[in-house]
Structure 1
Amino acid sequence: MRKSLLTSFHHLTCVNTNCFFAHRALSIGSSAQNFQENAITRNLGQPTAYTHPFLLNKGEVTPGLTKEDYEERRSALIRIINAVSKKQKNDKEEKGNVVILFGEPIKYMSEDIPYPFHQNTNFRYLTGFLEPDSCLILDSRSVEESSTHKSTLLVQERDSHKELWHGARAGTDGAVEHTGIDHAEGMQHLSNILKKYLSENYDIWYDFQRPTNLELHMNHMRSFLTDAFKKKLKIRSINDAIHQQRHIKTNKEIVLMMEAGRITAEAFKQTIPFSSPDINEGTVQALLDCECRVRGAQMLAYPPVVAGGNRANTLHYIFNNQRIKDGELVLVDAGAEYHGYVADITRTWPVNGKFSPAQRTLYEAVLKTQRACISLCKPGNTLDQIYNAMAMLIVQELMANKIIKRKPKGHETYEVARKYCPHHVSHWLGMDVHDTQCVPRSIPLTPGMVVTVEPGIYIREDDIDVAEEYRGIGIRIEDDVAVTSDGPLVLTGACPKDVDEIELLMSNT
């Protein structure tokens, strides 16, 4: 599996991103004539093979992911929920299952100025459709021959006035052509479509606990769910089933995550040597954002942490508005989003280019711990087991380097570890930076899972339990790792993390 992933990644990137685009353009060549009368030859509001032939091949909904890939995802979800329903039912009468899933709404910074749109990842996973205020319905009963379900996408209708202000819409014809969905309707028909599922024997699968799109929920789903409850239809949460499916990545998905990791690693390599004493944290953030985007990322995957000095001990510090003093470290946690898949890297380095002896000691303790934890990312282990190993290793390093003054007693070991590293060593990674949170960290790792490995040591400047030279230092080192049958595959390995490598990189400016 590891070898096939690396081969696929080589085909994706060739030598660099420009080669990737050139390769895709050559593969299309004179394929314009392939767009016959059944193709949509206009802007649909998201990249297509017609508008972005340098990015997508014909039949792809997302770079590297075809209509057939999305159809298989929808079919696999129906198989999962059919199996759950069958296991839990005692009814003699055969029931159907209907999945109802909304896309995100547009969110506004001010009265008429929208934030950049970001699609609900569950919705995107099943459709690849990037327009707001959409709805996917999967019906396991109304099926054609050799199909597991019928899929319907409800979208905003074409509207020349609104498209003038907000950009092109796919409309029903564009939605079907681009995504390969079975059928499309205008969103105004949703309430009438839902009525069907009140008169037939269905279980309803919907994210009612945390509705994605509150306006659509209030306008369409609230009364529908009330009526369904009165008719004693079963209403089930769909989130767990989708997370169960999303949790195991295909080779195609891991290749996209490799590219997100490569882009982020290259951005770090450009940003680290740009650092200097008194640089503003916001400048570092801006440079990272720029370097990710020029390499093909659509955006940063999350608000980055750029924390100088003692601010690194605030785990979710995202103000990024202070100057970093000479002699201080800066901890940067950032990742690119590449066509729906994300990276998550943390590096810590001295803005003046040289680690002090205390900084080097603490850094190498974290790095040694991280490498040991990465080696444990193998099938059969669990993230909780790797966390336990991290806790023991951190305490051993703190004691071996005389960073803490008092040797903890046996029962105090985990308390000390939690004091100096209060977060878990890992989380799932995929389309979200904290991916598939319905999946516990206690399950055994299997090939296709992607995780972060991010130990840290955080010593506040007022901590009198450690030697003075270590106070005010926070260090975290984080990489993304795919679990394969051949062992861990580090997706972000191009990002420097050895002390000597970082100092050499900074000395070359």
Structure 2
Amino acid sequence: MGISAGLIYLAGQPTVNWADSDQPRPFRQKRYFYYLSGSDDADCYLTYDIKKDFLTLYIPDFDLHRAIWNGPTVTKEEAEHKYDVDRVHYHASLRRDLEKWARKYNQSDPVYILHESEKPTAPSVDFRLDSKQLLPAMNAARGAKDDHEIQMILQANKISGIAHRKILENIRNMSNESEIEGLFLNTCISHGAKNQSYEIIAGSGRNAATLHYVKNNEPLKGRQLVCLDAGAEWNCYASDVTRTFPMTGEWPSAHTRSIYRLVERMQEECIKRIKKGVRFLDLHVLAHTIAIEGLLELGILRRGAVDEIRNSGASKVFFPHGLGHHIGLEVHDVSEENIMALDRTHGYSPVLIPAACLSPCTLSAPVLDDGMIVTVEPGVYFSRPALADAQKQPFAKYINFELAREYIPVGGARIEDDILVTADGYENMTTAPKGDEMLEIIGGER
């Protein structure tokens, strides 16, 4: 932020009931609040005096009724031991402390808040506020992860890997997508990860072509592939893992094998190029190039050179999302974005769908830096709506629709790992089996 004084004020997630109900919604701490406080408790607040470098956490006052029904909230002594803060006060002190600080300093130094809707309140004070600088500063800080954050994401990936493996070991005996979701949840929870980073996607057959399919309730009989996109959360930090696999230890058709191996090649070629200083968008273009080459070999794309087809936008029919995104406290984590966006002459536009691409797979994102964690998740899909729309587009001449429709039962394939960027390369944080190892586990050979 480039400032030396002022007060940061953040409110944590309050306890909120469902509409027209006395039942509370599942609690999920606000991520900016957690980033500064480390507290995963409801109904908390914090202040950070920038000049004094002093962080105060405000915890809920003791409530006898709440303690009887739900158990007591964290005590001052417990919070002081548990959290890396300078001071812990009960909520009853918050208004008094804000008024005291404002009388001394607020005339010259503002109170920094994330949003206009999260203003501090005190009847005797008209606070001088700044709601512009804090959010971009925190986004920039959250881009690269420290050692503690890396360990949290490694643990989330470890549990996700165990759960994915458990699915592979049991998929031959399953009959419905719901069993996949249930076993994945059971495995994560039994290993201490109660929360998922996002809603589980367990799409079989044609459902695998729906990028965020979450119904997870259809029979598996007759389906060629399952696309399982699921990741556990550990201490508020996310993992994001996708595996695509058949119901047995063998590919059920040449079509499924060809599409999986193509996506596998897309991912491997992109991952091995990750290091500090690389523009992630160039890897996105590379993934499209490999996809086009593979689809040309299969005859699904035709009548054009690779560059010509890529520039037409035809490959977006089969690979409609970004290659990946930042991951951290959010599964689609925040980061600093360069204010100097690349112009459209760089050739990225034909392979980008802005609404489907998140940083760092955007025109405005800076290059990868040491400590960033990104997903690499290429995919190839055969979506009925996408193919129907493609027939109306100028690039339709490059697509063999008759052959493409033969692949609709395949649905699609996506493979996703979480990758830590290092100064001279990368570390793959994801342990879930894939490729030949995956097939051996399904077949009972491992």
Between the aligned partners of 1:468 and 1:150, the Cα distance in structure 2 is 62
Aligned to 1:503: 439
Matches within 5 A, 1:175-190: 175-190=79-94
Query: 2: distance between equivalents of 1:474 and 1:467?
Result: 12
Deviation at 1:190, TM superposition (A): 3.0
| Structure-2 residue corresponding to 1:367 | 264
Superposition pairs of residues 378-393 of structure 1, within 5 angstroms: 378-393=275-290
- For 1:299, what is the secondary structure of its paired residue? coil
What SS is found at the alignment partner of 1:371? helix
CA distance in 2, matches of 1:169, 1:280: 41
Paired AA for residue 481 in structure 1: I
CA–CA distance in structure 1, aligned partners of residues 413 and 161 of structure 2: 18
- 2:374 matched residue in structure 1: 451
SS in 2 for 1:108: coil
Please tell me whether the aligned partners of residues 95 and 122 of structure 2 are also in contact (alpha carbons under 8 angstroms). no
Q: How does 1:102-117 map to 2 (within 5 A)?
A: 102-109=11-18, 111-117=21-27
How do 1:423-434 residues align onto structure 2 when only pairs under 5 Å count? 423-434=321-332
Moved more, 117-126 or 397-406: 397-406
Asked if structure 2 preserves the Cα contact closer than 8 Å seen for 1:331 and 1:475, the reply is yes
Tell me, yes or no, if structure 1 residue 165 matches structure 2 residue 72: no
CA distance, structure 2, for counterparts of residue 126 and residue 350 of structure 1: 43
Contact 1:203 1:236 in 2 (8 A): no
Q: Aligned pair in 2 of structure 1 residues 475, 180: CA closer, same or farther (>3 Å)?
A: closer
Corresponding position of 2:345: none
Letter of the 2:215 partner, please give it: F
CA distance in structure 2 between the aligned counterparts of 1:438 and 1:167, rounded to whole angstroms: 40
1:402 aligned onto 2:299: yes
The question of whether the paired residues in 1 share the 8 Å contact of 2:244 and 2:414 is answered with: yes
CA distance in 1, matches of 2:121, 2:208: 44
Q: Distance in 2 between matches of 1:382 and 1:222?
A: 47
> Using the alignment, how far apart are the partners of 1:380 and 1:159 within structure 2?
52
SS of residue in 2 equivalent to 1:114: coil
Segments of structure 2 that go 5 or more residues without pairing to the other structure are 338-358, 388-400
Partner of 2:421, secondary structure, is: strand
Instruction: Find the aligned partners of 1:138 and 1:384 in 2 and give their Cα distance.
Output: 37
Alignment of 1:89-488 (within 5 A): 96-109=5-18, 111-141=21-51, 143=52, 149-196=53-100, 198-199=102-103, 200=105, 201-208=108-115, 211=117, 217=118, 220-221=120-121, 227-228=126-127, 234-276=130-172, 279-355=175-251, 356-407=253-304, 410-414=307-311, 415-439=313-337, 440-441=359-360, 442-461=365-384, 463=387, 464=401, 466-472=403-409, 473-488=411-426
What do the CA deviations read for 1:382-435 (whole angstroms, capped 9, x no partner)? Answer: 221211111111111111222334436745414122211111101001121111
Provide TM-score, normalisation by structure 1. Answer: 0.73
* Paired residue type of 2:88: A
Matched residue SS, 2:290 = helix
The CA distance in 1 between the partners of 2:289 and 2:243, in whole Å, is 22
Report if aligned partners of 1:150, 1:182 keep a CA contact under 8 Å in 2: yes
Supply the AA of the counterpart residue of 1:100: Y
Q: Which one is further off, 300-309 or 233-242?
A: 233-242
Residues in 1 aligned to 2:427 and 2:235: alpha-carbon distance in whole angstroms: 21
Task: Identify the range of structure 1 (107-116 vs 164-173) with the bigger mean alpha-carbon deviation.
Answer: 107-116
CA distance, structure 2, for counterparts of residue 112 and residue 420 of structure 1: 46
Q: Deviations over 1:262-316 (max 9, x none)?
A: 2111211111231248722121011011112222323221111111111112111
The amino acid across from 2:330 in the alignment is: D
Instruction: State the percentage of identical aligned residues.
Output: 28
Alpha-carbon contact 2:142-2:335 (below 8 Å) kept: no
Partner of 1:70: none
Structure-2 change in CA distance of 1:161 and 1:222 (3 Å): closer
Q: Is the 8 A contact 1:326 1:352 kept in 2?
A: no
SS at match of 1:475: strand
Separation in structure 2 between the aligned mates of residue 172 and residue 386 of structure 1, nearest angstrom: 49
The TM-score normalised by the length of structure 2 is 0.82
Change (3 A) 1:223 1:245: farther
Q: Tell me, yes or no, if the aligned pair for 1:382 and 1:443 is still in contact at 8 Å.
A: yes
Question: What's the CA shift for 1:234?
Answer: 3.9
Alpha-carbon shift at residue 374 of structure 1 (Å): 0.4
SS in 2 for 1:378: coil
Rounded Cα–Cα distance in structure 1 between residues aligned with 2:250 and 2:54: 61
Looking at both structures, which has the greater relative contact order when contacts are Cα pairs under 8 Å and sequence separation is at least 6?
2
Cα distance in 1 for partners of 2:183, 2:16 equals 26
**CA 1:180 to 1:369, structure 2 compared with 1: closer, same or farther past 3 Å?**
closer
C-alpha displacement at 1:181, in angstroms?
2.3
Quick one: distance in 2 between partners of 1:255 and 1:505?
27
RMSD: 2.5
Structure 1 residues 237 and 349: alpha-carbon distance in aligned structure 2, compared to 1, 3 A threshold: same
Tell me: CA distance 1:224–1:478, structure 2 relative to 1, closer, same or farther (3 Å): farther
Which is worse superposed, 275-284 or 162-171?
Answer: 275-284
Equivalence for 1:71: none
Q: CA deviation at 1:170?
A: 1.8
